[in-house]
C-alpha cells in the first residue's frame, strides 16, 4: 500500500508500483517500480530510468510524493539494505561505499547498461548517489541531488547538535538490543525530529509527515546497523566525490534547510562543471514531503533540457 499525500484541488494520480526483490551483497533488497500508467506502452529502451535513493532512516515511501508528480516517468525506488523491507548486507559495511555498491548492482540488473539512467539521491542518499557516479561514470547519465549533504556535519554551526546526536546513536548501540531499539525508535524522539525539520504551517502536510515518520522512520534492522549508517552520514559530504561529478547535475535545495544549508549548496554547484541549482523557498530538509510538486517540476525541466 502506498502513502497518500495531503489532498489538493487537483486529483492525485494513483500509485500502483510493482514490488520486486533481488539478492544483492547478501541483502534481500526490495525495490518498487513505478511506471507511467497501466494503459501506457511498455518502457522504451531510450526512455530514462529514474533510480531514487532515500535518506537516513528512510524507506521508498518517503520519495513517493515526488514520484507521484512524475506521472510520465518510470522510476525505481529501493529500500536501502537494512531499512524498510530490505535485509542487511553480508560482508559489506552499511556505509556510503557499501550502499553505493548495492545501487550499482541494482542498476545493472535493471538493464542500466542498455538505457539512460537518472540517479536521484535525497540527503544521505545524495552521498550514496555521488559515490555511485565516482565508482562508474558510464552508468549514470544525469544526477539529481535533493537536499544534498554538502557541508560537514561535525564542523560549523551544527557541530554541537551533531555531536549530541552522535552520542544518542552511540547510546542506542551500547544498550542491550531491545532497550537500544526502544530508545532509537522512541515516538517522541521521532516526532521531535520531524518537528525540527518541518517548515510548512499547513496542518494536512504536517500530519502527513508525522504519520509517515511514525510508520517508517524506525524500520531499521538493528541499532548497530543504524549507528553505522549514521556515522557514515556525518563523516563525509557529496563534495568528497566532486572530481567525478562532471555529468549534468541538478541540485534542489530548501531555502531554510539547517541540515544541508543553502550556502553549502551554492558552493557545491559552483564547483561542478555542469550543474543547476534550484532553491525552493519556505522549505527545509523535507523538500520531498513539503514541496514534491515543485521538486518534480524542476526534475522534469532538467530531464527535458538538451
Per-residue pLDDT of the chain (306 residues), as tens digits, is 444 455 443 445 567 899 999 999 999 999 999 997 644 444 666 789 999 999 999 999 999 999 999 999 999 999 999 999 999 999 899 999 999 999 999 999 999 999 999 999 999 999 999 999 999 989 999 999 999 999 887 565 566 677 788 889 999 999 999 999 999 999 999 998 888 899 998 999 999 999 999 999 999 999 999 999 999 999 999 999 999 999 999 999 999 999 999 999 999 999 999 999 999 999 999 999 999 999 999 999 999 986
SS (H, E, C) 32-53: EEECCCCCCCCCCCCCCEEEEE
Say if 97 falls within a structural domain: yes
* Count of domains forming the chain: 1
**268 CB contacts (<8 Å, ≥6 apart)?**
148, 150, 238, 239, 242, 251, 275
Q: Is the pTM of this model over 0.75?
A: yes
On whether the CB atoms of residues 35 and 258 are closer than 8 A, the answer is no
Task: Give ∠ CA 43-140-297 in degrees, rounded to 5.
Answer: 65
Say if 11 falls within a structural domain: no
Say if 207 falls within a structural domain: no
Say if 285 falls within a structural domain: yes
Say if 108 falls within a structural domain: yes
Q: Give the CATH number for residue 276.
A: 3.40.50.1820
Q: Tell me the residue range of the domain where 101 lies.
A: 18-153+236-304
Say if 39 falls within a structural domain: yes
Say if 106 falls within a structural domain: yes
Amino acid at each position: 500500500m502506498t502513502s497518500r499525500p495531503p489532498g489538493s484541488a487537483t486529483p492525485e494520480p494513483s500509485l500502483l508500483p510493482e514490488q520486486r526483490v533481488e539478492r544483492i551483497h547478501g541483502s534481500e533488497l526490495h525495490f518498487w517500480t513505478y511506471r507511467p500508467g497501466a494503459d501506457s506502452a511498455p518502457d522504451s529502451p531510450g526512455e530514462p530510468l529514474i533510480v531514487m535513493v532515500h535518506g537516513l532512516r528512510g524507506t521508498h515511501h518517503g520519495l513517493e510524493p515526488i514520484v507521484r508528480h512524475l506521472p510520465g516517468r518510470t522510476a525505481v525506488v529501493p529500500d536501502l539494505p537494512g531499512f524498510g523491507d530490505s535485509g542487511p548486507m553480508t560482508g559489506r559495511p552499511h556505509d556510503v561505499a557499501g550502499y553505493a555498491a548495492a545501487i550499482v548492482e541494482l542498476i545493472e540488473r535493471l538493464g542500466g547498461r542498455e538505457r539512460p539512467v537518472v540517479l536521484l539521491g535525497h540527503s544521505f542518499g545524495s552521498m550514496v548517489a555521488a559515490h555511485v557516479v565516482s565508482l562508474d561514470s558510464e552508468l549514470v547519465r544525469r544526477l539529481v541531488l535533493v537536499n544534498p549533504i554538502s557541508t560537514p556535519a561535525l564542523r560549523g554551526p551544527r557541530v554541537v547538535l551533531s555531536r549530541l546526536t552522535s552520542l544518542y546513536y552511540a547510546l542506542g548501540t551500547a544498550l542491550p538490543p531491545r532497550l537500544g531499539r526502544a530508545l532509537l525508535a522512541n515516538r517522541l524522539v521521532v516526532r521531535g525530529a520531524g518537528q525540527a525539520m518541518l517548515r510548512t504551517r499547513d496542518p494536512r502536510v504536517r500530519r502527513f509527515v508525522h504519520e509517515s515518520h511514525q510508520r517508517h522512520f524506525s524500520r531499521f534492522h538493528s541499532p548497530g546497523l543504524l549507528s553505522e549508517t549514521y556515522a557514515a552520514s556525518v563523516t563525509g559530504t557529496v563534495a568528497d566525490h566532486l572530481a567525478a561529478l562532471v555529468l549534468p547535475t541538478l541540485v534542489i535545495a530548501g531555502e531554510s534547510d539547517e541540515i544541508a544549508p543553502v550556502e553549502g549548496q551554492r558552493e557545491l554547484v559552483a564547483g561542478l562543471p555542469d550543474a543547476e541549482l534550484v532553491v525552493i523557498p519556505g522549505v527545509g530538509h523535507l523538500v520531498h514531503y513539503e514541496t514534491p510538486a515543485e521538486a518534480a517540476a524542476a526534475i522534469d525541466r532538467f530531464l527535458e533540457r538538451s
